[in-house]
């Protein structure tokens, strides 16, 4: 049943597959981000309470959701790497972590800039904000561990264990607004009910969500391709890929 | 269109500073990520070329030593 997956344990096969996906992901990410952000900034109606400041939602919420989504994905690849010892899965940890870290930083930054006019403070040590800050530190820790060892596999293993242990933080972030009395508001769309948002505001948000998802996927593909090249730099197929056939002979 | 003029669009009902700071910061962050990947490819090409040149030099020296 899983036999079709086996060739992708080899770096070159995965590299080629990602190469097929990358242009489509990149183009659709750029298009949906452009449409979603322009729609959200210029065409969506202002909020009756927050005026035009609420427009930060169009980047804040997607960045926050996919900072957690990327972490969950990284934890799953870490599990695969640790259990089945598949090297491409190890490399995926290093490909996902920087993308997730940037998304987390963006969510924290846009949150602070949104918090200042609405809450009167850039930062508050409330449960949602603090747990999201811990997510950033987890990403940075995973990255630091990955590159901290002379033996690359040891580094990948250490990073994988931290990524797995740290996944406990993801549900904590999500439920923090229910479990504790936070300054941060509750969920608007990630719940099992009708979203508490007008359709005219919701549609551009959904497009932005799609755009961030595609952007995240594209960046991970791109970075994983580079990580595969880096790890197999001394193999003939990589030399052919990087330098080109004509210069080799 | 939620705004009647470009001026109004920039002012964002008085929240212009915060809205544009948030969007600017986001584009800076995502842009740096993209830029790093562009540069990474160039670094890889250089590392690969360096490695191949080293291998070639090594092979040449070994050949010389054998012929001596």
Instruction: Write out the residue range of the structural domain in which residue B30 sits.
Output: 15-67
For residue B21, list chain A residues with Cβ-Cβ distance below 8 A.
113
Distance between CA atoms of B39 and A36, rounded to whole angstroms? 28
Residue pLDDT, tens place only, B19-54 = 999 999 999 999 999 999 999 999 999 998 998 899
Domains: count for chain B:
1
Percentage of chain A with pLDDT > 90? 73
For residue B4, list chain A residues with Cβ-Cβ distance below 8 A.
none
Q: Has residue B3 been placed in a domain?
A: no
Burial class (CB in 10 A: 0-12, 13-18, 19+), A114: buried
Q: Has residue B8 been placed in a domain?
A: no
CATH fold for domain A18-43+54-248: 1.20.120
CA dihedral angle for residue A5, residue A9, residue A10, residue A11, rounded to 10 degrees: 110
- pLDDT score at A189: 75
Distance between CA atoms of A163 and A95, rounded to whole angstroms? 13
B13 with A98: Cβ contact below 8 A: no
Please check whether residue A59 touches B, CB under 8 A.
Answer: yes
- Among B3, B15, B48, the residue with its CB nearest the CB of A117 is B15
- Among B13, B14, B26, the residue with its CB nearest the CB of A59 is B26
A106 with B1: Cβ contact below 8 A: no
Please check whether residue B49 touches A, CB under 8 A.
Answer: yes
**ipTM value of the model?**
0.88
- pLDDT score at B67: 83
For residue A37, list chain B residues with Cβ-Cβ distance below 8 A.
23
Distance between CA atoms of A141 and A169, rounded to whole angstroms? 14
Please check whether residue A46 touches B, CB under 8 A.
Answer: yes
- pLDDT score at B15: 92
How near does any CA of chain B get to the CA of A1, in Å?
35
Which stretches of chain A score pLDDT less than 70? 245-249
Please check whether residue A171 touches B, CB under 8 A.
Answer: no
- Among B14, B18, B51, the residue with its CB nearest the CB of A234 is B51
Q: Has residue B10 been placed in a domain?
A: no
- pLDDT score at A97: 97
For residue A181, the 8-state DSSP code is -
What residue segments make up the domains of chain A, in order of their start? 18-43+54-248
């Amino acid at each position: 049943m899983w036999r079709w997956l086996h060739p992708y344990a080899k770096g070159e096969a995965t590299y080629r597959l990602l190469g097929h996906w990358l242009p489509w992901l990149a183009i659709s990410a750029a298009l949906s981000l452009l449409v979603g952000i322009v729609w959200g900034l210029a065409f969506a109606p202002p909020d009756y309470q927050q005026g035009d400041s609420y427009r930060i939602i169009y980047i804040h919420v997607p960045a926050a959701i996919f900072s957690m989504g990327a972490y969950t994905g990284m934890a799953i690849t870490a599990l695969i790497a640790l259990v089945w010892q598949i090297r491409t899965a190890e490399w995926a940890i290093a490909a996902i972590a920087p993308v997730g870290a940037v998304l987390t930083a963006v969510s924290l930054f846009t949150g602070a800039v949104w918090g200042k006019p609405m809450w009167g403070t850039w930062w508050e040590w409330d449960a949602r904000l603090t747990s999201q800050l811990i997510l950033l530190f987890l990403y940075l820790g995973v990255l630091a561990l990955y590159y901290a060892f002379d033996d690359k596999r040891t580094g990948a293993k250490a990073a994988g264990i931290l990524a797995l242990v740290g996944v406990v933080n993801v549900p904590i972030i999500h439920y923090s607004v229910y479990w504790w009395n936070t300054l941060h508001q509750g969920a608007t769309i990630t719940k099992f009910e009708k979203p508490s948002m007008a359709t005219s505001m919701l549609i551009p948000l959904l497009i932005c969500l799609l755009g961030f998802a595609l952007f995240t996927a594209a960046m991970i593909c791109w970075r994983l391709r580079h990580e595969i090249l880096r790890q197999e730099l001394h193999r003939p197929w990589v030399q052919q890929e990087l330098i080109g056939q004509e210069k080799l002979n | 269109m939620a705004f009647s003029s470009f001026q109004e669009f920039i002012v964002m009902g008085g929240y212009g500073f915060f809205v544009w700071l948030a969007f600017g910061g986001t584009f800076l962050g995502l842009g740096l990520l993209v830029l790093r990947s562009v540069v990474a490819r160039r670094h890889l090409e250089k590392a690969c070329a360096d490695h191949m040149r080293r291998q070639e030099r090594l092979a040449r020296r070994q050949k010389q030593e054998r012929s001596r």
